[in-house]
């Protein structure tokens, strides 16, 4: 069936040999699994459908051009991947989104190409987009535009899973389950092949979470291994084996994680207690006098996000990250060690605009509210990693901007790598040794010169030094 479109939409569908970026994201976010039915709405040539079938997913694909005869049935998950961009008629675009939403019973996953790809799309202005020389249409969205558009059409609060990918959940429990998983990933259980190791695993959980698990939180094999023990016996075993200090530490950590979750939830949209994931409900019951008290404390935490002095104080007190006159920079590996209010800062930005797939360092401004995720692909290998891209979200306007340094001849680079990491990071001693050698060699005497590749190279030459891995050598040495 050929539609009477004003552009040649079928030509926008590419052949895919691997999963699309949005489908990979959804897989990583546990939204696509073999228990759920999936509909790829506007599936094009069906590359994602084929790949997901290989992963044992129950998936079907419908496309008005390529697969018009697939029966359209309601499905747990509906994917609408790069479809909205190519529809030139705004009324039809909206109708397509609405139709996809009506077909989803748990979550609709909408992806669209973003304005930062502007340079890759050439064409003549046509309606609210461009008509290319191949007669294909592209309306590029800004990140914020896509989220607010999906929110408006579906009438629900959405979460940006990544730049250009938005999740719209059918009910609060599905949304909050995802949010909780994103903020505090489920604790890993130690393997438990027999009763003794099942008890060790249980004790480990209690020490990390600060409370015993509810039977519904146990992995099934473990629940079976422990089923013959009476609740009293289990309690005694835990009391005798768990380290009291570790349990107290775990309780503190979980309390802060719960506050963080409830504050992000408030930022995104608060649901009733019954829609919280079971583990969060149990955390609230264990560590707060009531849900009301937990909400009040988390609301205060969210309010602190507006307080420049408080945020600056938290940055100064942070045991991880490098503070500069404008911002705190923290490596991805150390992000969860930041004070809770700063973790909240970063999470709010990511829920609004989506964290990019690749990033190494988060930059949190202390004046104004903006988070950038910076990508240094060779952070571990390169003694002075060069930036490849940055993605910024302004929390006041929710506007985003993206910068690629792929074609830049003189990229900004990093020094003193250890400062971005936590003090217990295994790489810190090596990075610190290099910094000390560079300091002794006089390489940091002209800080205004060393921030980019050419300036840094020139300073290395001026000081008669060169780098081999993380070792600083004299230039004459080989």
Ligand X SMILES: C[S@@+](CC[C@H](N)C(=O)[O-])C[C@H]1O[C@@H](n2cnc3c(N)ncnc32)[C@H](O)[C@@H]1O
Instruction: List interacting residues with ligand X (CB under 6 A).
Output: 9-10, 12-13, 16, 20, 41-44, 47, 63-66, 81-83, 86-87, 92, 96
Phi, psi of 114 (to 5 degrees): -105, 160
In contact, 353 and 163? CB cutoff 8 Å: yes
Which of residues 83 and 226 has its CB atom nearest to ligand X in the complex?
A: 83
In contact, 132 and 121? CB cutoff 8 Å: yes
Contacts of 45 (CB under 8 A, 6+ apart): 13, 14, 15, 16, 66
Residue 45 CB, shortest distance to ligand X, in Å, is: 7
Which of residues 4 and 125 has its CB atom nearest to ligand X in the complex?
A: 4
Residue 132 CB, shortest distance to ligand X, in Å, is: 12
Which of residues 3 and 446 has its CB atom nearest to ligand X in the complex?
A: 3
Which of residues 47 and 164 has its CB atom nearest to ligand X in the complex?
A: 47
**Around Cβ 181, how many Cβ atoms within 10 Å?**
14
Gyration radius of the chain over CA positions: 26
Residue 20 CB, shortest distance to ligand X, in Å, is: 5
Which of residues 150 and 393 has its CB atom nearest to ligand X in the complex?
A: 150
How far apart are alpha carbons 450 and 423 in whole angstroms? 25
Residue 156 CB, shortest distance to ligand X, in Å, is: 20
Which of residues 12 and 318 has its CB atom nearest to ligand X in the complex?
A: 12
Which of residues 64 and 339 has its CB atom nearest to ligand X in the complex?
A: 64
Cα 75 to chain centroid, rounded:
25
In contact, 164 and 402? CB cutoff 8 Å: no
Residue 42 CB, shortest distance to ligand X, in Å, is: 3
38: helix, strand or coil: strand
How far apart are alpha carbons 111 and 81 in whole angstroms? 5
Whole-angstrom CA distances from 305 to 171, 179, 361, 396, 467 are 28, 19, 20, 11, 42
Residue 175 CB, shortest distance to ligand X, in Å, is: 24
Which of residues 63 and 419 has its CB atom nearest to ligand X in the complex?
A: 63
79: helix, strand or coil: strand
Residue 354 CB, shortest distance to ligand X, in Å, is: 17
How far apart are alpha carbons 187 and 253 in whole angstroms? 13
Residue 476 CB, shortest distance to ligand X, in Å, is: 56
The number of C-alpha atoms within 13 Å of 261 and in the hemisphere containing its C-beta is: 28
For the chain, the first-to-last Cα distance in angstroms comes to 69
């Amino acid at each position: 069936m050929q539609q009477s479109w004003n552009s040649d939409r079928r030509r926008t569908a590419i052949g895919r040999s691997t999963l699309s970026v949005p489908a990979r994201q959804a897989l990583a976010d546990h939204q696509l699994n073999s228990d759920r039915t999936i509909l790829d709405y506007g599936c094009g040539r069906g590359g994602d459908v084929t790949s997901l079938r290989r992963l044992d997913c129950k998936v079907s694909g419908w496309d008005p051009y390529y697969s018009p005869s697939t029966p359209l049935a309601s499905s747990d998950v509906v994917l609408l991947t790069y479809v909205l961009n190519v529809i030139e008629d705004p009324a039809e675009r909206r109708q397509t989104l609405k139709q996809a939403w009506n077909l989803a019973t748990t979550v609709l996953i909408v992806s669209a190409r973003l304005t930062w790809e502007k340079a890759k799309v050439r064409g003549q202005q046509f309606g609210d987009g461009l008509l290319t020389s191949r007669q294909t249409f592209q309306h590029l969205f800004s990140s914020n535009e896509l989220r607010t558009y999906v929110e408006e059409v579906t009438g629900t609060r959405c979460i940006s899973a990544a730049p250009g990918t938005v999740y719209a959940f059918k009910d609060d429990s599905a949304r909050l389950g995802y949010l909780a998983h994103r903020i505090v990933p489920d604790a890993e259980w130690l393997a438990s092949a027999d009763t003794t190791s099942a008890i060790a695993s249980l004790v480990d959980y209690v020490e990390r979470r600060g409370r015993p698990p509810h039977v519904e939180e146990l992995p099934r094999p473990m629940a079976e291994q422990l089923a013959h023990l009476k609740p009293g016996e289990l309690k005694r075993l835990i009391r005798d084996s768990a380290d009291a200090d570790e349990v107290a530490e775990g309780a503190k950590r979980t309390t802060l994680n719960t506050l963080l979750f409830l504050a992000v939830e408030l930022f995104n949209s608060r649901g009733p207690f019954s829609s919280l994931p079971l583990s969060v409900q149990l955390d609230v019951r264990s560590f707060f006098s009531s849900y009301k008290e937990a909400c009040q404390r988390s609301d205060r935490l969210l309010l602190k996000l507006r307080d420049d002095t408080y945020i600056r104080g938290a940055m100064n007190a942070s045991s991880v990250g490098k503070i500069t006159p404008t911002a705190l920079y923290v490596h991805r590996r150390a992000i969860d060690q930041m004070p809770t209010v700063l973790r909240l800062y970063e999470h709010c930005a990511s829920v609004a605009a989506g964290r990019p797939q690749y990033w190494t360092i988060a930059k949190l401004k202390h004046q104004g509210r903006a988070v950038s995720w910076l990508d240094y692909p060779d952070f571990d290998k390169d003694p002075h990693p060069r930036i490849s891209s940055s993605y910024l979200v302004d929390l006041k306007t929710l506007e985003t901007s993206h910068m690629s340094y792929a074609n830049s001849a003189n990229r900004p680079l990093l020094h003193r790598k250890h400062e971005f990491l936590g003090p217990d990071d295994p790489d810190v001693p090596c990075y610190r040794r290099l910094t000390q050698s560079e300091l002794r060699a006089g390489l940091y005497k002209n800080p205004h010169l060393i921030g980019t590749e050419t300036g840094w190279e020139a300073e290395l030459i001026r000081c008669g030094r060169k780098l081999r891995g993380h070792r600083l050598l004299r230039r004459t040495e080989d």
